């Protein structure tokens, strides 16, 4: 009998044992850098003539690993293999499929420090961010396995005289899974695990900036007993392979997490019927955000400042849930801003694969580095730069923080006095840049909070009970937090997904999520 689901606990890296285990894992992974990972299509391991090199963000000349780069021909092979495997996998008992996920969770639990270390190298996560990423991957596996046990058999229906009636959930078919780089194990595992446990087969096209971690996940599923062809690891370019997989007539659904622009493109392409396609493709889209924390004049100001800094600059602001707007009531604006600046000055930034447990690492790649700095330049014209900014001689322009060289490091940057309609208040930056906006009243602040095309996460700090209740109804976002930070959703504690241009509100880690990968079949027999 399974124990009830509970989220995987975190460790404290200030304690000697977790610290030593993490240092040992970093040393172990460092010795494996530069290896090559082939495509995985059915039972085959395919070496390709072209490869995708994954570089360390913190040391941009260091290769973490190289993965095979699929061609369209290999993408076609992956679809056909997945379609053939589906005919068998869909008939495997749901309890057996659930056990594969439970076994994968156990393997990840045993390898938790090693998998976290890979993320320190490949995406420059801090130790605790990387560890939490593995914990979330384990949570997805454990929770979805238990959910499949609940949903796998006949579902309750109203009895009717003279008939036997039942409702079953059956899988959709071949799915294309396109995960993001910023939660390269957790989200990749959650999307893939949900598709597999519900009886579908998967062609996985990982993000080109974090393909090695995705290869490690594929290894875990293989070790857990997943049959060949159920999961096909198929890295490749978006233009050559991604579009081909999305458009393919045998693709039944596309599960995507990433930017609004790419998500909308997938949504549009899936709306077109390809020759030979006999179904409407389902899209499960988790896209961007322009999230905020609203602080009114009754709030605990220190708690609000702590929540803003953690939400804005954790993992370099590279979360769709990150606080990129701080909306402060004019009565507390100066005080909360000063507290946020002072807290931010104490943050450490550096290579997270070293012995120092830095709070911030590097942003993911050169493209992100240029884009974020471009937004900082825009922000200088839209408000007053009070911390961070350009780096000159290894020192941040404002605040004097030392910034490492040799990688894509950007200091935490705060721009205040920003208009609600400014570009840095409306466009997703996906980096350590915080726009601070003055609100005339709580009503004005709520209007500013809702005044974007997105609706993913938000938070309100207030000690006014009626304002907290008002926010429950009128703060329009998929994940609302009251008197806490707006990042860090836990599986089945805070099911995650947003409104408007933040996606299809798929609520990953929630009790409805697996239904997105299945379809209902009603069966009646006259007695």
- Closest Cα partner for 204 from 18, 428, 37? 37
Contact call for residues 385 and 397 (beta carbons, < 8 A)? yes
Beta pairing, strands 291-295 & 63-68: unpaired
Joined tokens for residue 262: 């790419």
Joined tokens for residue 261: 């622009």
Strand 231-233: give its sheet, edge to edge.
44-46, 39-41, 231-233, 201-204, 174-178, 251-257, 282-286
Q: How far does Cα 352 stand from its chain's mean position?
A: 20
Q: In angstroms, rounded to a whole number, what is the distance separating the alpha carbons of residues 250 and 100?
A: 25
Is 320 tagged catalytic?
Answer: yes
Beta pairing, strands 63-68 & 51-55: antiparallel
Task: Give me the torsion for CA of 448, 451, 452, 453, rounded to 10°.
Answer: 160
Contact call for residues 372 and 410 (beta carbons, < 8 A)? yes
Q: Where are the alpha helices (DSSP H) in 33-126?
A: 72-89, 94-110, 112-122
CA 228 vs CA 45, 99, 151: distances in Å: 11, 16, 25
Q: Helix 127-151 to helix 94-110 angle, to the nearest 10 degrees?
A: 160
Q: Helix 211-223 to helix 112-122 angle, to the nearest 10 degrees?
A: 160
Q: Residue 202: phi, psi to the nearest 5?
A: -130, 140
CA 339 vs CA 20, 301, 345, 460: distances in Å: 34, 8, 10, 17
Q: In angstroms, rounded to a whole number, what is the distance separating the alpha carbons of residues 317 and 327?
A: 17
Is 286 tagged catalytic?
Answer: yes
Q: What DSSP character marks residue 9?
A: P
Q: Where are the alpha helices (DSSP H) in 254-408?
A: 260-270, 301-313, 333-345, 366-382
Q: What DSSP character marks residue 262?
A: H
252: enclosing H helix or E strand: strand 251-257
The residue from 270, 320, 323, 477 that is catalytic is 320
Contact call for residues 296 and 330 (beta carbons, < 8 A)? no
The residue from 114, 136, 286, 297 that is catalytic is 286
How crowded is the C-beta side of 230, counted as CA atoms within 13 Å?
Answer: 27
Q: Mind telling me the catalytic residues?
A: 286, 320
């Amino acid at each position: 009998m399974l124990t009830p689901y509970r989220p995987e606990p975190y460790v404290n890296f200030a304690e000697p044992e977790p610290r030593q285990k993490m240092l040992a894992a970093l040393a172990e992974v460092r010795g494996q850098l530069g290896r090559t990972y082939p495509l995985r299509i059915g039972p085959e391991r395919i070496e390709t003539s072209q490869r995708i090199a994954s570089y360390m963000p913190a040391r941009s000349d260091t290769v973490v690993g190289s993965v095979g780069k699929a061609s369209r021909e290999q993408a076609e092979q992956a679809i056909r293999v997945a379609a053939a495997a589906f005919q068998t996998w869909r008939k495997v008992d749901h309890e057996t499929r659930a056990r594969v996920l439970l076994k994968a969770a156990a393997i990840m639990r045993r390898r938790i420090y090693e998998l976290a270390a890979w993320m320190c190298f490949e995406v420059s996560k801090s130790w605790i961010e990387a560890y939490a990423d593995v914990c979330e991957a384990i949570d997805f596996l454990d929770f979805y396995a238990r959910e499949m046990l609940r949903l796998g058999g006949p579902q309750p229906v109203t009895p009717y005289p003279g008939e036997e009636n039942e409702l079953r959930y059956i899988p959709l078919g071949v799915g294309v899974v396109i995960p993001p780089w910023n939660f390269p194990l957790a989200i990749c595992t959650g999307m893939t695990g949900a598709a597999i446990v519900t009886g579908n087969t998967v062609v996985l096209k990982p993000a080109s900036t974090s393909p090695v971690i995705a290869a490690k996940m594929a290894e875990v599923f293989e070790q857990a007993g997943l049959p060949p062809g159920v999961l096909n690891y198929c890295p490749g370019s978006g233009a050559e392979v991604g579009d081909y997989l999305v458009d393919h007539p045998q693709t039944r659904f596309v599960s995507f997490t990433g930017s609004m622009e790419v998500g909308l493109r997938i949504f549009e392409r899936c709306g077109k019927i390809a020759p030979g396609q006999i179904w409407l493709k389902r899209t499960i889209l988790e896209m961007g955000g322009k999230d905020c924390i609203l602080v009114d004049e009754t709030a605990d100001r220190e708690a609000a400042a702590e929540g803003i800094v953690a939400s804005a600059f954790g993992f370099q602001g590279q979360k769709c849930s990150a606080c990129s707007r701080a909306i402060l009531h004019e009565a507390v604006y100066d005080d909360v801003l000063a507290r946020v600046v002072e807290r931010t000055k104490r943050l450490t930034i550096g290579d997270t694969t070293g012995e120092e447990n830095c709070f911030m690492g590097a942003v993911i790649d050169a493209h992100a580095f240029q884009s974020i700095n471009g937004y900082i330049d825009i922000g200088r014209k839209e408000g007053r730069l009070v911390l961070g900014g350009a780096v000159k001689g290894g020192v941040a322009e404002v605040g004097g923080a030392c910034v490492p060289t040799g990688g894509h490091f950007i200091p935490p940057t705060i721009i205040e006095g920003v208009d609600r309609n400014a570009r840095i208040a409306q466009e997703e930056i996906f980096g350590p840049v915080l726009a601070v906006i003055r609100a005339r009243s709580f009503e004005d602040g709520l209007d500013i909070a809702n005044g974007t095309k997105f609706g993913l996460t938000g938070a309100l700090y207030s000690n006014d009970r009626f304002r907290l209740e008002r926010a429950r109804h009128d703060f329009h976002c998929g994940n609302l937090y009251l008197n806490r930070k707006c990042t860090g959703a836990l599986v089945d504690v805070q099911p995650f997904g947003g409104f408007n241009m933040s996606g299809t509100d798929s609520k990953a880690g929630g009790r409805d999520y697996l239904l997105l990968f299945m379809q209902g079949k009603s069966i009646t027999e006259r007695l």
